[in-house]
Amino acid sequence: MSTRLRRRDFLGVLAAPALMRGMPTPKIKDVSVIATAPGGLRLVVVKILTDQDGLYGYGCGTFTQRADLVVEAVNRYLRPLLVGRPADAIGDLWEAMYNSSYWRNGPVLNNAISGVDQALWDIKGRQAGMPVYELLGGKCRQGAMIYSHASGAEIADTLDSARKIMARGIKAVRLQVAVPGYAAYGAGQRRPATGDPVFDPYAYVRRTLQLFEAGRKELGPEVHLLHDVHERVPPRLAVQFAKALEQYNLFYMEDALAPEDIDYFREIRKNCTTPLAMGELFNSPHEWNMLIRERLIDYIRVHVTQAGGLTPSWKLATMAEAFQVRTAWHGPGDVSPIGHCANVTLDLVCRNFGIQEWSPSNERIDEVFDGYPQMKDGYLLANEKPGWGVEINEKAAAKYPFGSFENGERKDLNGGWGVVRTPDGTVINQ
């Protein structure tokens, strides 16, 4: 065979993938936002239409505390940038969106970018006729171990809640308990008749240590126990608290410090072996790089939409793997079903998966979203349909505008969490 023929055959092989697709590259025809709150929490979903009939995708951009601003960011800034561009070029479009505002790494823009990014991955999966996890190399496990939340006004109530969770086959439980006379994260806010709720970090620490002493004794050594500090204690107390929890063999202690105080993780590491998880408030690699590089945490807890979507989160997981840090993506109720699908996709394709926070669906959410990931025997399973495998009933979504629902009545929210103070009146982290 001549050199010329061999070269011609080689060029034909290079051209084959484009020919096999049998269709031109899809272009972005329109970008819109579905804003809905079927579970009482504001969910923002970006929908991208292409110029190919029937080819579209959905992405989660939920930042429930400032949801209206994400909607505006998509409609006013990202849509004009994206229309007419190729939907295939996910990485290129991500960089274009990220750099287009010059000032970057803010939660509003990151969530808007995430909505677009995830919608583009959905389109690519639908094109290929594959779930997104197949596009990332396929599964390295069949299911993702989850944890669920147990809480109560009294310690006994929390432990009863934990037993019910364990009875469903769930192998890991987060324990939170109310603090008499004060506000407490994860177990209800005690609101005074006037003024803002009051949180006492020292009373909280004493109460939580009592909870875990009882929890480990009554629930046994086999169940994995977790706890969320929610950045509410001062750094030095956080070090003492982590040391005191060491004896109860936690799966991890979550968000012991506020993002502003992450240097103190070095002090916690020096003093105890309690596993540490951090990151749900992070927006930027500048916040997590040091913690991962110095192995100061065991689990990275980033909220995927806050980081900008699937594309940067996949890169984050790859970086973390090199330093033996595992993933534990944020998965509360203020993540849309599409966001939960993105979480479980990363859980199944990343070797360094650790655990997945899970929030169950309800009838209203299921009315709007078809394809919510399912839990079986304590493991979260991927939707096996192309893309994320989620379809949205937009007429049903319109029935649940932004707001919360109490006793069947709509109550408007400003999107924020309000204010919590220490006994001396200082505003604290939420």
Give catalytic residue positions.
185, 230
First CA to last CA distance, the chain = 72
Q: What is the DSSP string of 29-76?
A: EEEEEEEE-TTSS-EEEEEEEESSTT-EEEEE---GGGHHHHHHIIII
Residue of 127, 117, 71 lying closest to 95 (CA atoms): 117
- Dihedral sign computed on CA atoms, order 342, 348, 351, 357: positive
CB atoms within 10 A of CB 370: 15
Between strands 299-300 and 276-278, the pairing is: parallel
Strand partners, 380: 144, 375
Q: What is the DSSP string of 183-238?
A: --TTS-----SSS--B--HHHHHHHHHHHHHHHHHHH-SSSEEEEE-TT-S-HHHH
Residue of 402, 362, 283, 428 lying closest to 40 (CA atoms): 402
Task: Look at the chain and count its residues.
Answer: 430
Distance CA 283, CA 296 (A): 18
State which amino acid sits at residue 138: G
Distance CA 426, CA 430 (A): 12
What backbone torsions phi and psi does residue 57 show, to the nearest 5 degrees? -155, 160
Residue 420 DSSP label:
-
As given in the structure block, the two tokens for residue 257 are 């410090």
Q: Vertex 312, ends 307 and 317: CA angle to 5°?
A: 100
| Helix, strand, coil tally for the chain in percent (to 5) | 45, 20, 40
Half-sphere exposure of 351 (CA within 13 A, CB side): 8
CB of 146 within 8 A of CB of 356?
yes
Collapsed DSSP state (helix, strand, coil) of residue 278: strand
Crossing angle of helices 337-349 and 107-128, in 10° steps, is 70
